[in-house]
Amino acid sequence: MLVRVGGTPLLRLAQCVQNPKVRLYAKAEWYNPGGSVKDRPALNMIQEGERSGKLTRGKTLIDATSGNTGIAYAMFGAALGYEVELVIPANVGPERKRIIEAYGASVRESDPLEGTDGARGLVQSLVARKPEKYFYPDQYNNPANWQAHFQTTGEEILHQTKGAVTHFVCGLGTTGTFVGTSRRLKQANAAVQSIAVQPDGPFHGLEGLKHIPSSWIPGIYDPTLVDGVEEVATEEAYAMVKRLAREEGLLVGISSGAATVAAVRIAERLEAGMVVTIFPDNGTKYLNELFWEK
């Protein structure tokens, strides 16, 4: 199962851009075995923990998550024989919690108003009480997070586009996907523009994304990689999720909708070019969201 992580397809969004000289593509990360882009960093952080000796038999893996990294941790924990304990904001959808528990991991809920920043604080207090019990990868500060994307996601995009990508558009959560992929693309071609996507304010419904100006900033974040920022309203992302399902035949998650809103904006400003974005997961974990009924 571990060898199935990565190698996800690049899909063209043919209906979203009308200019024939501008192509828009998205990496379909739900093709990973755990169903999201977070399989990549979760596996790399676990393997790096084993290599460093920080993760050993008998230790419990613990981290804060909004869901997808937690699912990946739980899946790999079950496959590799590690106990997993996760802290998740209480307002995260029930599907993700249920999937995590199905893999045998335990879930603690944190204050929903504090988001993943609050979940992270609770994890730190638990680890401080029993440091000998836990392996804490700390996805927000662990370089193995962004390195996974430097080694795989960015490399795959270069191969799949034959180096023709001109703009990379990506949501900011832990910031690992943005940082690692941008570094690899810019290493290959310094002219590639990296556009960061974030919610348009601190109170939003874009699970997995951070409003950087009002949040604790992850230690792995590198603002020097940012060539532009696109802010997306929750309602815009919801509308795009519906549009992608009904015009492209792609059922995607809410953060994918937000990324597409931003990517379409960039594409519409270009005379020619190739825009690539990331679809972190599909829409099956979000079908209880009320926006589907409107």
State the catalytic residues.
38, 255
| Ordered DSSP codes for 98-138 | HHHHHTT-EEEEE-GGGHHHHHHHHHHHHHHH-TTTEE---
Strands 134-135 and 193-199: unpaired
What residue type is 233 in one-letter code? A
What is the Cα–Cα distance from 184 to 162, expressed in whole angstroms?
14
Instruction: Spell 258-294 as b/e; 16+ CB within 10 A means b.
Output: bbbbbbbbbbeebeebbbbbbbbbbbebbeebebeee
| 249 conformational bin, left if phi > 0, alpha if psi -120 to 50, beta if neither | left
What is the Cα–Cα distance from 282 to 251, expressed in whole angstroms?
6
Question: Alpha carbon of 41 to those of 12, 181, 256: distances in Å?
Answer: 25, 12, 18
In 3-state terms, what secondary structure has residue 220? Answer: coil
Please, what is the end-to-end C-alpha distance for the chain in angstroms?
Answer: 39
What is the Cα–Cα distance from 280 to 258, expressed in whole angstroms?
11
